[in-house]
C-alpha cells in the first residue's frame, strides 16, 4: 500500500442491488489514486440467486457481503460492522468518484479533531447546459446542496458504534442518513464537509417516478416522532409542499362528498379549488422545465396523482409511528451492544450433528423475538459449538449450509461465529470459554460487556460470564437441573428472554 493510502485506514462501504452503475463506480475507484483501505460491496438483492457481478482484476481488495434485501440502512450496517478500520466511507452505487477522490478522502480525514465524527463529500450532478432541466433532473440536482447524505459520507467507527449505526426501521433510501446525522450530533460529535468530490449522474427514470418518491413522506412522519417538530431545520431539509398537497386532497375529497350528498354548488366550489391547486402544482413543475409536449403531459398527469400519494404515505407513516411509538435507535439499545444466540436448542430445534438444511426448524416465536430486537435497533449474532466437525460427523460446508438455512428463516444475522473443535481440543473459543463471545463482539464493534448471550445449556451462560457479558438461560429438556440452578437469569422461552432484554418483561 502506498504512503498516501497508509496515512488513514478506511473501509469503503457500497450497498447495491446490482445496478449497472456499480461497474462505473468500481472502474472510477480503480482508475484513481490508491484506496486507503478495502472496498465492501453489500449485496442487498432480496433474491440473490446469482453472484454479484464484480469486474475482475481490481487493483484493490473487494469483499462482497449479503444483507438479504432489507434496505440500504441495513446493508450499510452489515458493511461497516464487518470491518475494523477507524473510518468508514459510504458511497452509493450510482456515484462516480473523481480521480483524486481517494487522495482527497485521506486529506479530508487525516488531521480532523477528535470530536469530528463525520465528513461529507461534495456531489456534482452533470446536467444538460443547452436546455432547461426536466422535473426529474432538477430533483436529482438537489443532491448537490443536501446535507449529510450517504451518497458520499465518511464516519468515524466509534461514532457509528456510539449510536448503533443506521436505523433499519427506515426501509428505503430516504431520511435514514439524516436520522443518523442527527443522532451523531446529539451524541456530541461534529460533522464537517470535506473537499473530495464525486459525480452523481441522472439515471433514467419512469414517467411516474415523482409519484413513487412520495413514499418518502412516511419517513418524514418517523423523523418528526423521533426528532421533534424542528427536525427539518436541524437536518437542513426544506419543508416542501406537503401542506399544499393536503389542501388539494381535502378539496378533492370535499368535492366528491358534496356531489354524493346532492349538493352541486358545494361540489362545484370544492372542485374548483381542487382544479386550481392541481393546476398550480402542474405549472410550478412545468414552468422551469423544457415545456415540450412529453414533459408537459408527464407533469400534468403526475400532478393529479402526486398529492394523493403524498397524503397516503404520510398517513401511513403517522399511523405506524403512533402504533409503534418509535424510540430513537440509540436510546432503544442504550447500554446494549448485541444479543448473541446459541443455535441448536435455542434458535432452532436441536437435531444432533445436523448437516441437512431441510431439517432446520425454528423454535416457536424465534422469528418474532429476533424481529423485536431488530426493531429496537439491537444487533443480533449466533455463536455455536459444532464439535461434530472435530468428531468427523460433519464438514464445515455442511455447517455453513445449515447456518444459511437459519439465516433464511430467521435472519440474516449480523455475525456468525462457529467453533469446530471438540471438548478435548483445548481451544479458547468453544463454550464455556469466552472466545466466541469476544469474536462476535469484535465483529460487531461493541464491548463484550454490552452483549447478552441467550442459550439453552450451562456452557452458554458460563461463556457469557467468562466474557463479562450478561447470560440468560432458556431451559429445554436437555438442560440439567444444576445448570438451571447456577444460571444468573432463567427465562421460560425465547420470547420471554428477549422481552427481558428489552425491558418489557
Paired residues of 91 in beta bridges: 152
If you write DSSP's letter for every residue of 61-123 in order, what string do you get? -EEEEE--S--HHHHHHHHHHT---SEEEEE-TT-EE-TTHHHHHHHHHHT--TTEEEEEEEE
Please pick, among 93, 108, 344, 460, the residue that the annotation labels catalytic. 344
Q: 468: Cβ–Cβ under 8 A, 6 or more apart, which residues? A: 448, 449
135 classed as catalytic: no
Peptide bond into 432 cis (omega under 30): yes
Rounded (to 5) percent helix, strand, coil in the chain: 45, 15, 40
344 classed as catalytic: yes
Please pick, among 167, 179, 342, 460, the residue that the annotation labels catalytic. 342
Counting runs of H as helices and runs of E as strands, what totals does the chain give? 20, 13
> All 3 cell numbers of residue 496?
420471554
> Could you tell me how many residues make up the chain?
505
- In SS3 terms, 259-294 reads as HHCCCHHHHHHHHHHHHHHHHHHHHHHHCCCCCCHH
Peptide bond into 231 cis (omega under 30): no
Paired residues of 341 in beta bridges: 382, 454
- In angstroms, rounded to a whole number, what is the distance separating the alpha carbons of residues 67 and 74? 7
User: Exposed e or buried b for every residue in 169-180, given b needs 16+ CB within 10 A?
Assistant: bbbebbbbbbbb
- In angstroms, rounded to a whole number, what is the distance separating the alpha carbons of residues 267 and 248? 14
- In angstroms, rounded to a whole number, what is the distance separating the alpha carbons of residues 463 and 476? 18
Active site residues: 342, 344
Amino acid at each position: 500500500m502506498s504512503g498516501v493510502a497508509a496515512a488513514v485506514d478506511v473501509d469503503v462501504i457500497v450497498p447495491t442491488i446490482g445496478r449497472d452503475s456499480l461497474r462505473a463506480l468500481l472502474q472510477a475507484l480503480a482508475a484513481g489514486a490508491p484506496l486507503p483501505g478495502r472496498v465492501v460491496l453489500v449485496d442487498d438483492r432480496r433474491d440473490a440467486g446469482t453472484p454479484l457481478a464484480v469486474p475482475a482484476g481490481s487493483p484493490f481488495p473487494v469483499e462482497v457481503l449479503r444483507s438479504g434485501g432489507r434496505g440500504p440502512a441495513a446493508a450499510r450496517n452489515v458493511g461497516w460492522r464487518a470491518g475494523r478500520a477507524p473510518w468508514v466511507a459510504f458511497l452509493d452505487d450510482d456515484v462516480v468518484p473523481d480521480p483524486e477522490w481517494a487522495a482527497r478522502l485521506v486529506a479530508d480525514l487525516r488531521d480532523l479533531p477528535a470530536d469530528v465524527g463525520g465528513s461529507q463529500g461534495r456531489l456534482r450532478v452533470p446536467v444538460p447546459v443547452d436546455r432547461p432541466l426536466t422535473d426529474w433532473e432538477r430533483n436529482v440536482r438537489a443532491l448537490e446542496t443536501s446535507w449529510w447524505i450517504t451518497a458520499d459520507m465518511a464516519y468515524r467507527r466509534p461514532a457509528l458504534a456510539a449510536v448503533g449505526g443506521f436505523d433499519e426501521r427506515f426501509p428505503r433510501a430516504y431520511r435514514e442518513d439524516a436520522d443518523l446525522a442527527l443522532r451523531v450530533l446529539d451524541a456530541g460529535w461534529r460533522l464537517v464537509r470535506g473537499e473530495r468530490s464525486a459525480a452523481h449522474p441522472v439515471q433514467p427514470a419512469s414517467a411516474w417516478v415523482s409519484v413513487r418518491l412520495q413514499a418518502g413522506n412516511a419517513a418524514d412522519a418517523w423523523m418528526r416522532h423521533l426528532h421533534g417538530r424542528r427536525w427539518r431545520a436541524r437536518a437542513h431539509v426544506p419543508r416542501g409542499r406537503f401542506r399544499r398537497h393536503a389542501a388539494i386532497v381535502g378539496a378533492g375529497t370535499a368535492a366528491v362528498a358534496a356531489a354524493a350528498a346532492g349538493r352541486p354548488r358545494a361540489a362545484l366550489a370544492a372542485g374548483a379549488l381542487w382544479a386550481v391547486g392541481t393546476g398550480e402544482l402542474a405549472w410550478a413543475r412545468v414552468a422551469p422545465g423544457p415545456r415540450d409536449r412529453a414533459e408537459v403531459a408527464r407533469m400534468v398527469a403526475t400532478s393529479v396523482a402526486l398529492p394523493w400519494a403524498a397524503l397516503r404515505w404520510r398517513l401511513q407513516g403517522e399511523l405506524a409511528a403512533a402504533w409503534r411509538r418509535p424510540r430513537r435507535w440509540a436510546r432503544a439499545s442504550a447500554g446494549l451492544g448485541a444479543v448473541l444466540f446459541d443455535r441448536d436448542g435455542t434458535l432452532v430445534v436441536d437435531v444432533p450433528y445436523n448437516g441437512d438444511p431441510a431439517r432446520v426448524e425454528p423454535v416457536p416465536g424465534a422469528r418474532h423475538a429476533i424481529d423485536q430486537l431488530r426493531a429496537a435497533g439491537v444487533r443480533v449474532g449466533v455463536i455455536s459449538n459444532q464439535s461434530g466437525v472435530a468428531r468427523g460427523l460433519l464438514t464445515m460446508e455442511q455447517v455453513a449450509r445449515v447456518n444459511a438455512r437459519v439465516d433464511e428463516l430467521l435472519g440474516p444475522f449480523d455475525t456468525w461465529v462457529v467453533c469446530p473443535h471438540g471438548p478435548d481440543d483445548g481451544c479458547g473459543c468453544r463454550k464455556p470459554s469466552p472466545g466466541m463471545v469476544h469474536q462476535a463482539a469484535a465483529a460487531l464493534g461493541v464491548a463484550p460487556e454490552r452483549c447478552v448471550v441467550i442459550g439453552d445449556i450451562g456452557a452458554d451462560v458460563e461463556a457469557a460470564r467468562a466474557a463479562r457479558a450478561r447470560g440468560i438461560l432458556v431451559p429445554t429438556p436437555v438442560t440439567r437441573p444444576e445448570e438451571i440452578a447456577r444460571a444468573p437469569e432463567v427465562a421460560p422461552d425465547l420470547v420471554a428472554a428477549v422481552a427481558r432484554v428489552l425491558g418489557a418483561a
